[in-house]
Chains A and B, each alone.
Chain A
Amino acid sequence: MIPELGHFALILALLFTLIQATIPLIGVAEGRLDLMVVAKSCAWVQWLLFVIAFACLVYAFVNNDFTVAYVAKHSNSLLPLQYKISAVWGGHEGSILLWALILSSWTVAVAIFSQRLPATMVASVLTVMAWISLGFLLFILFTSNPFERLLPNFPIDGQDLNPLLQDFGLIVHPPILYMGYVGFSVVFAFAIAALLEGRLDSAWARWCRPWTLVAWCFLTLGISLGSWWAYYELGWGGWWFWDPVENASFMPWLAGTALLHSLAATEKRGVFKSWTLLLAISAFSFSLLGTFLVRSGVLTSVHAFANDPERGSFILIFLSLVVGGSLTLFAIRAGQFKSFSQYDLASKEMLLLGNNLLLSVATAVVMLGTLFPLFADIFHWGKISVGPPYFNALFIPLVLGLLFLLGFVPLMRWRQNDLSLLVKQALPSLIASLIIAVLLPWWLAEQLNIWVVLALFMVFWVLSRLVFDLKQKLQHKRHPWQAMLNMTPSYWGMSLAHFGVLVLVVGAALTSVYSIEKDVRLDIGGSVSIADYEFRLIQLKDIQGSNYTAVQADIEVYQQQRFVTKLFPEKRLYSVQKMPMTEAAIDPGLTRDLYISLGEPLDGNSWAVRVYYKPFVRWLWLGGVLMAFGGLIVIRDRRYRFAIKSTKSSQSDGLFAGETS
């Protein structure tokens, strides 16, 4: 009964979405407020129905209802409860339902937080979101119904969740990632509304920024979590594989990051208007493209869902309608958004433009590298693989370029700068940074690597500018601490996010270059040493988990004869899926991780063991978290709350209203 209820809720949601997608539009066309507000109530009802449907699916999982095909395929009575719940989004049908639920949650959020926005704008935004929701509902109902029954011949027990997914990572990673993906639909809808209304002013940019920021923060966090998960769960010690599925999440992130910066210029200076619109459309389009790539099977990936051409065709048609439609609108309307501001080559505008150029090229690199094997195949250029060597070769110079520009952020002012003064300010920092970047690794690691030197050079350069800027800001203040507190959340958030980038770059550079890996044979009582750590295999024992059996190794780690920690890597065999799994054991640390995973048993009492020493690998995810956190701080800025209250004034006098506090 319960699954049917869920199914029914989805059908009802389709009806309300249809209303939300049409009636408010008539209201906007005829200027009737009563029709416009229908959008808000529909958004609420739609959301409620999605919650009911989702709850029904959770109920089916928790109660082991194996008459439901999706549950039978992704769960098992022995599966621990937390994984039963997260298994809801462990497969295609459930994860797409989560997508739709999150989309409707964002819609409701827009309905709540846009009380003071012009009614027509709200109505248009909610309508656009309803159209997207409509596509996903049709997709769920016609190709991916999670409530389909297996009656009358249903299995007694389920096929269990893929052991790789039986992990904390599955609980948090997809929901947070989807929050980011789907969150870009809001700014997408704002862009479409602006194109439809033919109005784009700094108030518009100010409404868009918090929505973009929140989505961006979630996506940043989601990608970081995914990287961390892959690192500890896959047992290979890697943190980024340039796999099509990773790239699918990285493209919207890059476009979204470009959008954040472009929006800043549009808000402050009224420039790059059509470019900002294009980015707003792109960020969400890349989310949809990612969904297509992951679920259609056109590319081969380790993480992809089961291939299904029918679903692929549906998403592609949907993608073409949404993206093609919005780009057509863009082609017709974007020409009318002129900006009248002038700026020099040495100006903040140019700095942001440079940032956008580099980020766009980076997006193009990721897209080209991801899709090129497909192109080559279709045009009969031969089968090729595009992997880390390609991406690193093109991506690293772009990142270095971005960092170089980042250093100028505190120095550069809007519109116009004295170039000679700029050089005078920057040069000492640049020289000092280069010297430190060469000396530090030479002193600590005793070997110089060009990439490490370049990365550190840029990192120290940016860091020195951030610090000098703060110092300068506080120099003439009577109470420096008080002055620090008085600085805007925008400033702190931005600086923190940029600092996060530095932390991430340091982590990426050092761990890529200075990691040590060793495959060895370990007997009980035997030991292996890498980078002044010694690993001793003390004993092996059997473990019985709820749905697996395992062998666990007991390994003691010593550093120069001093005990450091005990590690317990496991080799598991999951009983239902008959799948062996490597559970790596990690001793995390701020400056290094010790990582050990079991290979296979060799003859007698010995095992093949892989040991890693990974310096600064934590900094990667720490950097990601700092970036996301910085973004959240920016949202606290008064400007964005003020904007909501002052829409009336911004409506009347356009460009720079609301900046009077």
Chain B
Amino acid sequence: MAKIYSIFWLVIASYSPCLSAMEVYQFDSTEQEQQYQRLTRELRCPKCQNQNIADSHAPLSKDLRQKVFEMTKAGKNEQEIKQYLVARYGDFVTYQPPMKPQTWLLWFGPVILFFGVLVVVIWQIKQKQSQKMPSIDLIQQQRLEDILDNHEDEH
């Protein structure tokens, strides 16, 4: 039996030199294992299309996993390991964009958009309320709307 598998895998190995999406590592503690899992998911394989190093089959990812494992085992914390890799591969290697002037648009843009629009909208409605209604008979329209509302609730 074992022979069949070894032949089978010899064939695969010759076709694809980068077949190894997982290694079996022994960790000292669950914290270490979880740190390893978190990090390998947050680090991007520099060689691949768009995959984290945990999922990627590329040999480079394997090296990086190995490095993350070694450093984790050596007691390095998440920040240290990330810094180590960013120093070598650049910001590209982490899926969490750094906070720096070039990325302020990315991080704060949506927040500013949200509060900016919120302020404008509230200001507008306040202003509209203080105005008088033009042209349409207000009472008549309100009556109509009340009828519609009630009508809807009855269903």
Contact = CB atoms under 8 A, between A and B. Distances in A.
A–B proximity contact (CB within 8 A) = yes
Interface of A: 234-236, 238, 241, 243-244, 268-269, 300-302, 304, 340-345, 350, 353, 357-358, 360-361, 364-365, 368-369, 372, 375-376, 381-390, 394, 413-415, 473, 486-488, 491, 517, 519-521, 540, 542, 549, 551, 573, 578-580, 582, 599-602, 604-605, 608, 610, 656, 659
A517 B36 CA distance: 11
17 contacts: A234-B55, A241-B50, A301-B49, A342-B128, A344-B129, A364-B110, A381-B102, A385-B44, A385-B93, A385-B94, A387-B44, A389-B95, A578-B16, A580-B19, A600-B20, A601-B6, A656-B148
Contact of B22 (A345, A353, A519, A551): A519
Contacts of A241: 50
A368 B24 contact: no
A302 to B, nearest CB: 5
A243 B52 CA distance: 11
A376 B91 CA distance: 12
B75 interface: no
A385 B5 contact: no
A659 B37 CA distance: 58
B12 to A, nearest CB: 5
A390 B121 contact: no
B29 interface: no
Given A342-B133, A601-B5, A384 B91 contact: yes
Given A540-B5, A542-B8, A659 B50 contact: no
Contacts of B97: 372, 384-386, 390
A385 B50 CA distance: 9
B139 interface: no
B91 A573 contact: no
Contacts of B2: 604-605
Given A238-B55, A599-B20, A659-B148, 20 more contacts: A236-B55, A243-B50, A300-B50, A301-B49, A302-B51, A340-B135, A345-B125, A357-B117, A372-B97, A385-B92, A386-B97, A389-B95, A390-B95, A521-B24, A573-B11, A579-B16, A600-B19, A605-B2, A610-B22, A656-B148
A549 B11 CA distance: 11
A488 B153 CA distance: 9
A204 B25 CA distance: 62
Contact of A487 (B5, B25, B102, B155): B155
Contacts of A602: 24
A656 B144 contact: yes
A345 to B, nearest CB: 6
A519 B16 contact: no
Contacts of B9: 600-601
A608 B91 contact: no
Interface string B134-155: 1110000110110011011101
Given A353-B121, A610-B22, A304 B96 contact: no
A602 B150 CA distance: 71
B109 A388 contact: no
B106 A387 contact: no
B70 interface: no
Contacts of A235: 21
B114 A372 contact: no
A488 B8 contact: no
A243 B21 CA distance: 19
A573 B49 contact: no
Instruction: Pick from A234, A269, A656 the residue with the most CB of B within 10 Å.
Output: A656
Given A384-B103, A414-B145, A659 B151 contact: yes
A579 B12 CA distance: 8
Contacts of A301: 49-50
A361 B113 contact: yes
B106 A390 contact: yes
Interface string B99-119: 000110111011001100110
A635 B93 CA distance: 47
Contacts of A540: 1, 5
A387 B96 contact: yes
B23 interface: yes
A529 to B, nearest CB: 14
Nearest to A601: B9
A350 B135 contact: no
B51 to A, nearest CB: 6
Nearest to A489: B155
Given A345-B125, A601-B5, A608-B22, A357 B114 contact: yes
Interface in B40-69: 41-42, 44, 48-52, 54-55
A552 B54 CA distance: 23
Contacts of A358: 114
A287 B133 CA distance: 39
B122 interface: yes
B55 to A, nearest CB: 5
A385 B95 contact: yes
A365 B110 contact: yes
A600 B148 CA distance: 66
Contact of B110 (A375, A394, A487, A488): A394
A382 B102 contact: yes
B1 A573 contact: no
Nearest to A602: B24
B21 A582 contact: yes
A356 to B, nearest CB: 10
A364 B153 CA distance: 36
A238 B95 CA distance: 16
Contacts of B155: 486-488, 491
Interface centre among A375, A385, A604 (most CB of B within 10 A): A385
A338 to B, nearest CB: 9
